[in-house]
Amino acid sequence: MYQQERMDQIIKILKENHYVTVDYLVEKIRYSPASIRRDLTLLEKQGMVKRSYGGVALGNAGLSPFRFRQHNMKTAKNAIAKKAATLVKDNDVVFLDGSSTTQYMGHFLIDKKDITVVTCNIILADFLSEHGINTFCTGGKIVEYPGILGGQFMLDSLDNYDIDIGFFSTLSVSLDGKLITNSEAGLHAYRVFREKAKKLVCLCGSDKFNLDGRFVSMTLEQVDYFVSDGNLPNDVKQKYPNTQFLCTK
């Protein structure tokens, strides 16, 4: 098989599976790991794929697939999730959105006492339930593979809960303290989160600082805690005295 044929096969597999590991490609295409990595290097240079931690996703799909985002910035996301989980108190009702960063919080919640978790992430709900956490899944339309729920049905279901603290991630935070999203659906969802949760926590990796986006979902003034692996400029933090900024470093 010529290199171009292998690369065409890689793209076909990615369109079918969204995110795969290098080992999976080696098994499916039946070529050496070295050959597959060379193919991926060329595809990445062409902007066709994105690579992260032994995995690969299509590079021209706008928002990266969930499984890719889950592995991207893994160390930072784990640290952010660990820090964020310290804000959860025993007996709290907790909402976790469908972002890859909040999914990491699951491992740090299983030792909490008598908490209730509401989430729109089916995989996270299954994990927490398996570990004895009182867990509710919002329901709604699957808006992202493999199990992220969204839509108005999901948002309406939050009316059934008295949420003490809610955790969410964002596409970007601007250097003047605006939280950015690229979708109108996301814009509406973040505003619902603000209305439903007594306290709201934004989880944001430093790789998301000052990225471009279409819509402003809220400002840091509307967030009780901002948790990141990086520090925003001091003048930004001073602009929002009622927001607590927690850095993992």
Tens digits of residue pLDDT in 176-195: 999 998 888 787 888 899 99
* C-beta neighbour count of 8 within 10 angstroms: 13
User: Is the pLDDT score of 165 beyond 90?
Assistant: yes
SS3 content of the chain, % helix, strand, coil (to 5): 40, 25, 30
Same domain, 136 and 21: no
Q: DSSP assignment, residue 115?
A: -
Pairing of strands 172-173, 178-181: antiparallel
Which of 26, 61, 96 is the last residue before a domain boundary? 61
Q: By percentage, how much of the chain surpasses pLDDT 90?
A: 62
Of 60-64, 190-194, 245-249, least confident by mean pLDDT is 60-64
β-sheet bridge partners, residue 119? 96, 137
How deeply is 155 buried, as exposed, middle or buried, from its count of CB atoms within 10 A (0-12, 13-18, 19+)?
buried
pLDDT confidence of residue 67: 60
Is there a single domain that holds both residue 55 and residue 85? Answer: no
Integer Cα distance of 102 and 87 in angstroms = 13
174 belongs to a structural domain: yes
Taking residue 40's Cβ as centre, other Cβ atoms within 10 Å add up to 20
Comparing 61-65, 99-103, 114-118, which segment has the lowest mean pLDDT? 61-65
With contact defined as beta carbons under 8 Å apart, do 248 and 83 qualify? Answer: yes
Domain boundary among 32, 61, 90: 61
- Exposure of 6 by Cβ count < 10 A (0-12 exposed, 13-18 middle, 19+ buried)? buried
Does residue 153 register a pLDDT over 70?
Answer: yes
**Is the separation of the CB atoms in 29 and 4 below 8 Å?**
no
In tens, the pLDDT along 20-29 reads 888 999 999 9
Structural domain harbouring 52: 3-61
| One domain for residues 43 and 121 | no
The CATH code of the domain that includes 199 is 3.40.50.1360
**Which letter, b or e, does each residue of 53-76 get, where b requires 16 or more Cβ atoms within 10 Å of its Cβ?**
eebbbbbeeeebbbbbbbbbbeeb
| Terminal-to-terminal C-alpha distance of the chain | 48
10 & 88 share domain: no
Where among 38, 61, 84 does a domain terminate? 61
pLDDT digits (tens, 9 = 90+) for 5-54: 888 889 888 888 778 888 999 999 989 999 998 999 888 887 788 887 77
